[in-house]
Amino acid sequence: MAAFLSALMVFTFVLAVLAPFVPFALLAVRGAFPGALPFCILFSVIVLEKIYAMLFRMRTKELFRVTQDWTSAAVGVSYSLAMYATITEFFGRGTGVTVLPAALFGGGLYLFAVALRYRAFDHLGRHWAVHVDRGTDSSNQLVRTGPYRLIRHPLYVGACLECLAVPLLLNSFWSLLFAAVVFCPLEVLRARFEEGFLFAAFGEAYRDYARDVPGFLPRLGRRGKRGPGA
């Protein structure tokens, strides 16, 4: 099982590294149409940021060494497929962005999602890892500051919003459906999988945190208890 999961992570890495070049290959094959080149560049920048944030911020040997965390491979493959589907649908349609409000909303949603992700990274610090079964031993600190005061899984919320935002930005609505029914549920499963390790690592402290702070949507009119440095 571990060998299979490690192979899936290698496959995900290959998909990710190739993704920035895919729009330009499609452009060469399909030919130009209104908005094709600017959106090729924009898509590649989005993908390169994601590669940096989720892959190159960790040591490679840790990325490919998977023991229990099947969710890292599952969300990695599904995110990559969503992005490939998005750019393929954009070129297959060949009309550029025709629903401007959807594109504008997608752009704003993407910026919010990335801001949320980096805010969460800042507060996690050294506790962050690609694989959720690492960095959750009792010697680590339970982070309850920043966005973790409001929701327990801001990174996963940010990832879901981002995966929905990019298809909206490119008006790739079938890809948006794929992201909604495949990627987002897998991120929820990933959060549940991680919480098993967090309960084991932090015990009653994490149970108190889970009672006080919702998982994915903040409670209106109420904030989680402020931790040190919040």
Q: Rg for the chain (alpha carbons), in Å?
A: 18
CA–CA distance, 178 with 184 (Å, rounded to integer): 9
Q: For 154-169, how does the pLDDT look when each residue is reduced to its tens digit (9 = 90+)?
A: 999 999 999 999 999 9
pLDDT of 67 reads 66
pLDDT score for 126: 76
**pLDDT tens readout for residues 192-219:** 999 998 998 889 999 999 999 999 999 8
What fold, for 2-212?
Answer: Four Helix Bundle (Hemerythrin (Met), subunit A) (1.20.120)
Percentage above 70 pLDDT, the chain: 87
Question: Phi and psi dihedrals of 41, rounded to 5?
Answer: -65, -45
